[in-house]
Structure 1
Amino acid sequence: MHIPPYHKKPAWQLLIVGCTLGAIVSYFVLIYMYGSMYEELIEENLELQSQYNELKRQNEALLAANEDLNEKSNQEPIIELIEVQIINPEEVKLDRLIMHELEDLIKDEINYLIGRRVDSISESDLLLYRTIENKGFTIEDITYYFDITELTISKSLKIKLRAKLSNKI
Structure 2
Amino acid sequence: MHIPPYHKKPSWQRFLIGIVIGGIIAYCIVIFMYGAMYERLLEQNLDLQSQVTELKNQNEALLEDKEDLDEKAKEPLVINTVEVKITNEEQLRLDRLIIHQLEEMVKQEISHVIGQDINVIDKSDQLLISTIENKGFTVDDFTYYFDVSKLTISQTVKLTVEAKVSN
What TM bracket, shorter-length normalisation? 0.5 to 0.7
How far apart, CA to CA, are the structure 1 residues paired with 2:74 and 2:137? 38
Tell me whether 154-163 or 73-82 shows the greater mean CA deviation.
Answer: 73-82
**Structure 1 runs of 4+ off > 6 angstroms?**
none
**Structure 1 Cα separation of the partners of residues 91 and 143 of structure 2:** 15
What is the CA distance between 1:82 and its match in structure 2? 0.4
Which residue of 2 is the match for residue 128 of structure 1? 128
In the other structure, the counterpart of 2:159 is: 159
Question: Residue deviations 1:94-138, cap 9 Å, x none?
Answer: 111100000010101000000001010010001001000000000
Structure 1: distance between partners of 2:80 and 2:106: 16
C-alpha distance in 1 between matches for 2:113 and 2:92: 28
Deviations 1:129-166 (Å, cap 9, x if unpaired)? 10000000000100000000000000000000000011
Write the distance in 1 (CA, Å) between the matches of 2:111 and 2:133: 16
* Unmatched segments (≥5 aa) in structure 2: 1-72
Counterpart for residue 76 of structure 1: 76
Separation in structure 2 between the aligned mates of residue 138 and residue 93 of structure 1, nearest angstrom: 16
What whole-Å deviation, never above 9, does each CA across 1:4-38 have from its counterpart, x for those lacking one?
xxxxxxxxxxxxxxxxxxxxxxxxxxxxxxxxxxx
Superposition pairs for residues 43-122 of structure 1, below 5 Å?
74-122=74-122
User: How far is 1:92 from its partner?
Assistant: 1.4
**Number of residue-to-residue matches in the alignment:** 95
Work out the CA distance in 1 between the residues paired with 2:90 and 2:121. 31
Q: What one-letter code is carried by the residue in structure 2 that aligns with 1:115?
A: G
**What is the deviation of 1:74?**
3.9
Q: Normalising by the residue count of structure 1, what TM-score does the alignment of the two structures yield?
A: 0.55
Q: CA RMSD in A?
A: 1.3
CA distance in 1, matches of 2:118, 2:92: 32
In structure 2, C-alpha distance between the alignment counterparts of 1:132 and 1:81, rounded to whole Å: 17
Q: How many percent of aligned residue pairs carry the same amino acid?
A: 49
Q: Letter of the aligned partner of 1:161 in structure 2? A: V
Distance 1:133 1:93 in 2: 21
Instruction: Classify the secondary structure of the residue corresponding to 1:132.
Output: helix
Specify the code of the residue in structure 1 equivalent to 2:120: S
Answer with 1 or 2: which has the greater Rg.
Answer: 2
